[in-house]
């Protein structure tokens, strides 16, 4: 059945104007339909959508704590099996709850092969507590715990964890990166994930106007630039077969990384030094030199 005209994520929540997370959640729920249970890690999405006694969730929803959405989903799934029922179980976590504090629970869930779709909405820092760096913050980003100053003109000094690759290395049946700005690709991947049995993982880029410091009207534009510059490539990996990953979108002509950096306050300092921009461009070029041949139109 097609539920695209129904809303399972109700308006009236407290997410910021221009936040990409509600776009991601709203559409995933439409594609999943009402026969769905959601487990949510602590984070903006949880806090801003469930202020008791109100809720934005028109499907059953559970939140336990920060680091255990994958474990909560594992329990929901085990009980669903015990009851002999079939439904979509979806876990939503931000990058803190997924690549850092919730990493162990996620790894366990994937290794055990629970029939759960885990969705990481990656806004690349601990935004709920006020823009602190995470393992998913990219090199060179300013955050409130990777501050920029005379002794550290760069900001975050370490690169982003390749979480999709890491989860794929668990031999998960389906892992993909997705971008809500690349809507048809996003939809295809969600539907494919939902129809694949076992533990699926979607790494979805999710702009945060507050933390990335951009105009709220530019959300989709900036997320599209993330992929059109090659910074956030879109690919899928089945059954851990990283050698045969499939890049699902390749810009006809890559845009220079500056175009992605320019509208975001978190990167403002990088633009003052051409070396930094060059480094980022080289990183992107290196990724595509290594993996680009996996694009098969």
Partner 1 sequence: MKAMIRGNESIAYAFKLARVQVVPAYPITPSTLVPEKISEFIANGEMKAEFVPVESEHSAISAAIGASARGVRVGTATASQGLALMHEVLFIASGMRLPIVMGIGNRALSAPINIWCDHQDSMSQRDTGWMQFYGENNQEGLDLGIMAFKIAEDKRVLLPAMVGLDAFVLTHTVEPVDMPEQSEVDDFLGEFKPNYVTLDPNKPATLGSFGFPEHYTEFRFAQWVAMEQAKKVIDEVFEEFEKKFGRKYRKVMPEHTEDADIIFVTMGSMSGTMREYIKKLRAQGKKVGMVKITVFRPFPKEELIEALQNAKVVAVVERNISMGFAGAVYGELAATFANKSKKPKFVDFIVGLGGRDITFNTLESVYKVAEKALTQDVDDVNWIDVNKEAVYKSEGLQ
Cα 67 to Cα 142: distance, rounded to the nearest angstrom: 24
Judge whether 93 and 69 are in contact, CB under 8 Å: yes
Q: Does 55 bind partner 1 (CB under 8 A)?
A: yes
Q: Which residue in the set 65, 165, 166, 220 belongs to the binding site for partner 1 (CB under 8 A)?
A: 65
Q: Is 204 helix (H, G, I), strand (E, B) or coil?
A: strand
Nearer to partner 1, 82 or 151 (CB): 82
Closest separation in Å from C-beta 101 to partner 1: 10
Is 38 in contact with 61 (CB distance < 8 Å)? Answer: yes
Q: Is 16 in the site for partner 1 (CB under 8 A)?
A: no
Closer to partner 1 by CB, 87 or 270: give it: 87
Should residue 1 be labelled a site residue for partner 1 when binding is judged by CB under 8 A?
A: no
The answer to whether residue 198 forms part of the interface with partner 1 (CB under 8 A) is no
Q: Which of 9, 36, 200, 206 is the binder for partner 1 (CB under 8 A)?
A: 36
Question: Which residues lie below 8 Å from residue 267, measured CB to CB, with a gap of 6+?
Answer: 140, 141, 142, 260, 261
Strands 36-40 and 61-63: what pairing?
Answer: parallel
91 three-state secondary structure: strand
111 binds partner 1 (CB under 8 A): yes
Residue 153 tokens, joined: 């003109």
47 binds partner 1 (CB under 8 A): yes
Cβ proximity of 174 and 236 under 8 Å: yes
Min dist. Cβ of residue 114 to partner 1 (A):
8
Decide if residue 105 touches partner 1 (CB under 8 A).
yes
d(CA 270, CA 272): 5
Question: Within 10 A of 91 (CB to CB), how many other CB atoms are there?
Answer: 33
Under the binding rule (CB under 8 A), the answer on residue 9 touching partner 1 is: no
* Region binding partner 1 by CB under 8 A among candidate stretches 75-83, 136-144, 234-242, 268-276: 75-83
The binding site for partner 1 (CB under 8 A) comprises 34-37, 39, 46-47, 50-53, 55, 57-65, 67-68, 70-83, 87, 104-105, 107-108, 111-112
């Amino acid at each position: 059945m097609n539920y695209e005209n129904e809303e399972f994520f109700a308006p009236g929540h407290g997410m910021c104007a221009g936040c990409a997370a509600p776009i991601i959640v709203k559409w995933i729920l439409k594609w999943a339909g009402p026969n769905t249970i959601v487990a949510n890690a602590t984070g903006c999405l949880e806090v801003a959508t469930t202020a008791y006694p109100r809720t934005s969730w028109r499907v059953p929803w559970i939140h336990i704590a920060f680091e255990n959405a994958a474990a909560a989903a594992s329990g929901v799934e085990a009980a669903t099996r015990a009851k002999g029922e079939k439904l979509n179980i979806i876990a939503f976590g931000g990058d803190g709850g997924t690549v850092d504090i919730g990493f162990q629970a996620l790894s366990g869930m994937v290794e055990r092969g629970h029939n759960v779709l885990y969705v990481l909405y990656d806004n690349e820092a601990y935004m709920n507590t006020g823009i602190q760096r995470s393992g998913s913050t990219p090199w060179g980003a300013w955050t409130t715990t990777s501050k920029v100053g005379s002794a550290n003109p760069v900001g975050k000094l370490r690169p982003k964890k390749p979480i999709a690759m890491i989860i794929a290395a668990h031999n998960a049946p389906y892992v993909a990166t997705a971008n809500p700005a690349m809507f048809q690709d996003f939809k295809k991947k969600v539907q494919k994930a939902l129809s694949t049995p076992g533990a699926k993982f979607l790494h979805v880029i999710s702009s945060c106007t507050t933390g990335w410091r951009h105009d709220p009207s530019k959300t989709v534009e900036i997320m599209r630039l993330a992929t059109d510059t090659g910074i956030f490539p879109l690919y899928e990996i089945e059954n851990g077969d990283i050698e045969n990953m499939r890049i699902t979108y390749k810009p006809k002509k890559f845009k220079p990384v500056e175009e992605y950096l320019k509208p975001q306050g978190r990167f403002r300092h990088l633009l003052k030094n051409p070396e930094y921009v060059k480094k980022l461009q080289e990183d992107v070029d290196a990724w595509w030199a290594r993996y680009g041949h996996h694009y098969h139109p």
